Structure 1
Amino acid sequence: MENVRLTAFVHGHVQGVGFRWWTMKQARELKLQGSATNLNDGRVCVVAEGPQDKCEEMLKRLQEQPSRHQRVGNVDTVIAQWGESRGIEGFVKR
């Protein structure tokens, strides 16, 4: 299966609550590469690369209510963009 790149802009109460740590844990569980970065406007930008089905699962987890995967914070909206994989290695939080 070909790798894809998911860029997800997560809106809500997602900074200062451990959301990036939670995101990194989910990405590692799904064996995805990428990053979770705080943006100046209060959003978190999540970049995930890997098989399309795993990236779709990551997007689903970002959109779910906190209790399912013990997510922290509160997500209002997730804006997703899809593209070609760029070959990122590892997953980091910034």
Structure 2
Amino acid sequence: MARICLHGYVSGKVQGVYFRQSTQDQADRLELDGWVRNLSDGRVEVLVEGEEDAVRELAAWLEQGPADARVTGIELQDQPVQGITGFIVRR
């Protein structure tokens, strides 16, 4: 299976609803690497890489997020694999 990388933005009610921590939990469960952070404009930025099926599964999860989130938009683009190890919440 090929290793891929996606980078993008999630908009809607995605801050203050444990979106970053829940994303990290999902990424850890799927054995993915990368990071997630809040942006000052209210969106969440994410970079994720790993086995293609697992990355696509996380991408699908991001469309809804955790229970209290209300995702209104998601933009993800393919990026070159960066060789990141581990998944962190950036502050």
Q: What does residue 78 of structure 1 align with?
A: 74
Q: Is the CA contact 1:35–1:91 (under 8 Å) kept in the aligned structure 2?
A: yes
Distance, in Å, in 1 between the alignment partners of 2:89 and 2:31 is: 15
| Alignment match, 2:49 | 49
Aligned residue pairs: how many? 90
Question: How many angstroms apart in 1 are the aligned matches of 2:68 and 2:87?
Answer: 19
- The alignment-based identity, stated in percent, is 39
Unaligned runs of 5+ in 1: none
Structure 1 residue runs of 4 or more that deviate by more than 3 Å after TM superposition: none
If the length of structure 2 is used for normalisation, what is the TM-score? 0.91
Question: Over aligned residue pairs, what C-alpha RMSD do you find?
Answer: 1.3
Superposed counterparts of 1:3-82, under 5 Å = 3-64=3-64, 70-82=66-78
Unaligned stretches of 5+ residues in structure 2: none
